[in-house]
Amino acid sequence: MSNPMPTPVLQARGLVKHFGHVVALDGADFELYPGEILAVIGDNGAGKSTLIKALSGALIPDEGTIYLNGTLVRFHNPLDARRMGIETVYQDLAVAPALNIMENIFLGREIRRSGVLGSLFRMLDKKQMMNDTVRYMADLKIGIQSMSQPVGTLSGGQRQGVAVARSAAFAKNVVIMDEPTAALGVKESRMVVELIRQVRERGLPVILISHNMPLVFELADRIHIQRLGRRVAVITPDEYSMADAVAIMTGAKEAEPQLAS
Amino acid sequence: MSDALVHDRSQSGWERIRRNITHFLSLPGVGPTLALLIASIFFATQTDKFLTGRNLSLVVQQVIVVGTLAVGQTLVILTAGIDLSNGMVMALGSVIMTSLAVEFGVPPAIAIIIGLLITTAFGLLNGSLVALVKLPPFIVTLGTLNIAYAVTRIYRTTTISNLPPAITFLGNTFTVGETAITYGSVVMIVVYLVAWFVLRETSWGRHVYAVGDNPEATRLAGISTTRLLISVYGIAGFIYGIAGLLLVARTQVGDPQAGQTANLDSITAVVLGGTSLFGGRGSVLGTLIGALIVGVFRNGLQLMGIPSMYQVLVTGILVILAVSVDQLSHRGQA
Ligand SMILES: Nc1ncnc2c1ncn2[C@@H]1O[C@H](COP(=O)(O)OP(=O)(O)O)[C@@H](O)[C@H]1O
Ligand SMILES: [Mg+2]
């Protein structure tokens, strides 16, 4: 970590967010570098979700700045962030169970037919969307037979796969995943680990919010530790143990000063 | 990943056949179509008069108005809403159209357009209250039901007759073989086909399903659910105006008392057609079948000489059956 770092893909400085008299973010900093998996951990109420919401446009911070590839950006809603290539897999996945896989992947970004069928009659190009869907799912090695299956008929892990495939397909810069294994069993969690690796292999950096320490230590390149609304440390899995991480998280231990910028 | 597939292979032949049959029956529209076929066969065996071109054309005539209203109702129910106001809004539209044309000398075309604008405005009002003020659709449309009813009755209490032919032209017929078909039935079919196409083939249509299925996911996908809902109710209002024009063509009068049970009848057609009251699932062609089921039962029982209260009874039972199926299948999915 001593060699000069490249420009962060996503960076935040001094984020502050109040909810009434609760201070959810108290001058939080954040960096995500190209191609990495950055885990964000912290106790309940440490401000992880609030941080992630600020970075994905789901809420507007009271103070502080956000930079995307070095450029100052302001997100007013999730669509702003999405337009800039930041995709979020929400904890509850935000899929429509009655719609099929293809329709979920392209929800809000449907492809229209070319020519007059598309421009005048507004017809969707289902064939194109179906082909793309098959490719997105294959890219992440998600083996689901039929893309015209309603998402409601899939298992929890498969649904997660659809949500991740959607994000990976459209994210140009960042994929954010909020507690991707919280609702899954052991076997399905393994599948999600693979998915996250696949996303990184495609060159996209991933922000992973998780309570699952073994998962975090297995996957993350760096770990951002959030406490009382601030980043108190950034550690790497090889230099610190899980016990250290938990100790820093709860304030029982201070991190090495060099990394807590 | 392929749990479902592994499962399939381990099943015995019978099990697979049973599953395929269950799957076929659960496809949208299959259940309602079978019900319609069985009812038709039953009535055909009970009375010779049922299966004649003239009688079937009559059945269609009888379902035109409710059938058209039910298209708007389907759009609203797909968004997980409900529209109780549609019958009254239709009545208001038809009274305005006929009154302007007969009593104020407004050219029929203009009178029709004004009527359509008013029903559309009611739809937009419903949609705005649902989407912007976030009131439950049931309450909103219960309110606008009363408003539309009161406005109609304050405006007039008596029937408007002696309508100019230009306003009743949809009641005119053309013949195919021996059977006379009204232009009105053609209009209804066209409304169905357009709605079917738009719901299946356009983004707007898919968003209608999505918002009824999971509004939060739809919003997070960057779709303005507010605008979407307002447009759905507005278009439904426009369709109620068309139903008003069909009503006028069929009855040849403008009737301030019309449409009082049309809201429940249209909901019946939608539900019998297999569209889920929970939103997000269903099809407008199912609704057409649903409207025809109601029409066939009424007509068939009538031909058999069974008193009309029994027809209402049967319709009530059918609705409860259909809603039970919806509830059970929804529980299975969630
Ligand atoms: N919408 C909100 N309204 C009021 N308080 C909130 C809201 N969101 C978060 N908070 C508060 O802000 C603090 C940080 O919450 P959060 O970011 O959800 O923490 P974490 O995700 O780390 O558990 C908590 O005290 C929480 O109660
Ligand atoms: Mg949280």
Name residues whose C-beta falls within 8 Å of residue B302's C-beta, 6 or more positions apart in sequence.
B308, B311
Name residues whose C-beta falls within 8 Å of residue B137's C-beta, 6 or more positions apart in sequence.
B76, B81, B82, B83, B126, B130
Task: Yes or no: say if A42 and A244 are a contact pair by the CB < 8 Å rule.
Answer: no
> Distance from the CA of B132 to the center of ligand 2, in angstroms?
29
Q: Please state the domain extents for chain B.
A: 33-333
Share of chain B above pLDDT 90, in %: 75
Model pTM score: 0.87
Burial of B178 (0-12, 13-18, 19+ CB in 10 A): exposed
Each residue's pLDDT tens digit, A197-226? 988 998 899 999 998 899 999 999 999 999
Instruction: Give the least confident one: B91-105, B165-179, B284-298.
Output: B165-179
Tell me which residues have their CB within 5 A of the ion that is ligand 2.
A 49
Q: Which residues share a beta bridge with A24?
A: none
Distance of alpha carbon B44 from alpha carbon B34, whole angstroms: 15
For a mutational test of ligand 1's pocket, the pick from A15, A21, A30, A49, i.e. the residue with the most ligand atoms closer than 8 A to its C-beta, is: A49
What's the CATH architecture for B33-333?
Orthogonal Bundle (1.10)
Q: Which residue has the higher pLDDT, B230 or B25?
A: B230
Q: Is the confidence metric ipTM above 0.90 for this complex?
A: no
Q: Note whether A122 contacts B280, CB cutoff 8 Å.
A: no
CA distance readout (Å), B27 to B21, B78, B294: 10, 17, 21
Under DSSP, the state recorded for B253 is S
Average pLDDT of the residues in B168-190: 91
pLDDT of B110:
97
Cα A74 versus chain centre, distance: 18
Which protein residue has the closest C-alpha to ligand 1 atom 6?
A19
Each residue's pLDDT tens digit, A78-118? 889 999 999 998 877 689 999 999 999 999 999 999 998 98
Pairing label, strands A37-42, A206-209: parallel
Cα B158 versus chain centre, distance: 27
- Identity at A58, one-letter amino acid code: A
pLDDT of B81:
98
Does any ligand 1 atom lie closer than 6 A to the CB of residue A46? yes
CA distance readout (Å), B184 to A37, B94, B255, B270: 63, 15, 18, 20
Instruction: Give A 90-119 residues with CB within 8 A of chain B.
Output: 90, 92-99, 103, 107-110, 112
For A125-156, b/e burial (b = at least 16 CB within 10 A) is bbeebbebbeebbeebebebeebebbbbbbbb
The answer on pLDDT for B26 being more than 80 is no
Q: Which ligand is in closest contact with the Cα of A24? A: 1
Query: Which band of pLDDT confidence, cut at 50, 70 and 90, is reported for residue A133?
Result: very high
Does any ligand 1 atom lie closer than 6 A to the CB of residue A72? no
Q: Which residue has the higher pLDDT, A221 or A77?
A: A221
Burial of A96 (0-12, 13-18, 19+ CB in 10 A): buried
pLDDT of A257:
56
Distance of alpha carbon B62 from alpha carbon B54, whole angstroms: 12
Does any ligand 1 atom lie closer than 6 A to the CB of residue A50? yes
Query: Which band of pLDDT confidence, cut at 50, 70 and 90, is reported for residue B11?
Result: low
Average pLDDT of the residues in B97-101: 97
Average pLDDT of the residues in B312-325: 86
- Kindly report the nearest CA distance between residue B254 and chain A, in angstroms: 35
pLDDT of A205:
96
Instruction: Give the least confident one: A28-32, B57-61, B88-92.
Output: B57-61
Q: Which ligand is in closest contact with the Cα of A90? A: 2
- Enumerate the residues of chain B whose CB falls inside 8 A of the CB of residue A93: 217
> Distance from the CA of A50 to the center of ligand 1, in angstroms?
6
Tokens coding A173: 């810069």
Burial of B128 (0-12, 13-18, 19+ CB in 10 A): middle
Each residue's pLDDT tens digit, A137-174? 888 888 887 888 999 999 888 888 899 889 988 999 99
* Average pLDDT for chain B: 91
Q: Any alpha helices (H) in chain B, and if so which ranges? A: 3-9, 13-26, 30-46, 53-78, 86-103, 108-131, 137-155, 165-168, 183-201, 203-213, 215-220, 225-251, 262-272, 284-303, 308-333
The answer on pLDDT for B56 being more than 60 is yes
Between chain A and chain B, the number of residue pairs with CB atoms below 8 A apart is 87
pLDDT of A188:
79
Q: Note whether A98 contacts B218, CB cutoff 8 Å.
A: no
CA distance readout (Å), B16 to A174, A236, B9, B332: 44, 52, 9, 19
Report the residue of A99, A113, A158 to disrupt the B interface, i.e. the one with the largest count of B CBs within 10 Å. A99
pLDDT of B334:
44
Average pLDDT of the residues in B62-78: 97
Q: Which residue has the higher pLDDT, B134 or B321?
A: B134
The answer on pLDDT for B179 being more than 90 is no
Instruction: Give B 188-227 residues with CB within 8 A of chain A.
Output: 201-204, 206-207, 209-210, 212-214, 216-218, 220-223
Task: Yes or no: say if B321 and B310 are a contact pair by the CB < 8 Å rule.
Answer: no
Instruction: Give A 205-244 residues with CB within 8 A of chain B.
Output: none
Each residue's pLDDT tens digit, B232-248? 999 999 999 999 999 99
pLDDT of B8:
45
Strand-by-strand arrangement of the A63-68 sheet? A22-32, A10-19, A63-68, A71-73
